[in-house]
Amino acid sequence: MREILTAHPGDSLQHLFDSAPAGAEIRFPAGIWREKAVIRTPGLHLVGSGREETVFVFDDYALKKDSLGRDYNTFRTWTLAVCADGVVMEHLSVVNDALSPEKKGQEVALSVCGDAFQMHDCTLSSTQDTLFLGPLPPDLIERYNGFLPDELRQPGLLRQHFSRCHIEGTVDFIFGCGEAVFDSCEIRSLCDARDIGYAAAPAHSLSQEEGFLFSHCNFTCAAGVTPGSIFLARPWRDYGLCRFKDCSYGPHIAPEGFDKWNDTQRDRTARFYESPPTPGRVSWVNRPT
């Protein structure tokens, strides 16, 4: 039988996560928890009082200096990091409110480095790199040995599922190598001083066959976003895999839909699919494999 715990305003998130038994449900009242925390206990079920009522928030950013004078780097900026399997989150928000990414760099709200993760009826909000879906690409697992904790560098197949969630950001705000499904979510682009944005940045290996699936999602934007300035996805690594099925798009989405990532040739390997197809997209979408 699942143990049910009740959080209270002022409780430490980290203490709650560390002291709860595996598989416990933690119920959160309305309140703001300004704290950076890691979930290491498998099977935790976090239940908020509503996405506008229960908010986990912090403000780290990539160009912030640590105690050794080093940049924080993208992958240490999360507000909440999930490093255990089977975690479920409902009816709450996870926010990074550092803002100004053009000056501060990337600002992750949620980093998922566990398998069988679920999130329902939640909000994820930041700017550049809002949601990281682990694992890291193999080259970064190697590069960050000794810099990132091992719990953030674990390889393997990690699966995530998001339903009825609101996810917002500016540049590459859904990124990583996870096998992730987004079902009936709102994917909202925010204004950026650079006046260009990208929703997804997949980095899947060629051996992965699922990648990111956006199903029945609504791609919207904040007031002031320039029409045609947002791309649905660009490949963060060769073979990045994204599928868009029965989604709706606002006028902020660029007619060509997808970008190859700067001066690379990743358009030759990217696996991007859209159904039904939208006229005017780049020629390498829906390319047979």
| Burial of 246 per CB tally in 10 Å (0-12, 13-18, 19+) | exposed
Which pLDDT tens digit goes with each residue over 36-89?
A: 999 999 999 999 999 999 999 999 999 999 999 999 999 999 999 999 999 999
| Residue 70, CB-side half-sphere exposure with 13 Å CA sphere | 9
How many Cα atoms sit within 13 Å of 53 on the Cβ side?
Answer: 12
Instruction: Tokens for 88, please give them.
Output: 């479920």
Q: Over 90: is that where the pLDDT of 288 sits?
A: no
Q: Is the pLDDT of residue 122 over 90?
A: yes
pLDDT at 161: 98
Model pLDDT, residue 85? 98
Q: Please give the CATH superfamily to which domain 4-275 belongs.
A: Single-stranded right-handed beta-helix, Pectin lyase-like (2.160.20.10)
The pTM score is 0.97
% of the chain surpassing 70 pLDDT: 100
- pLDDT digit string (tens) for 224-279? 999 999 999 999 999 999 999 999 999 999 999 999 999 999 999 999 999 999 99
pLDDT score recorded for residue 6: 97
What per-residue confidence (pLDDT) applies to 112? 98
pLDDT band at 2, cuts 50/70/90?
Answer: confident
Q: In the chain, what are the domain boundaries?
A: 4-275
Q: Which residue has the higher pLDDT, 217 or 288?
A: 217
Do residues 235 and 269 touch, judged by C-beta distance below 8 A? yes
Is pLDDT at 16 greater than 90 in this prediction? yes
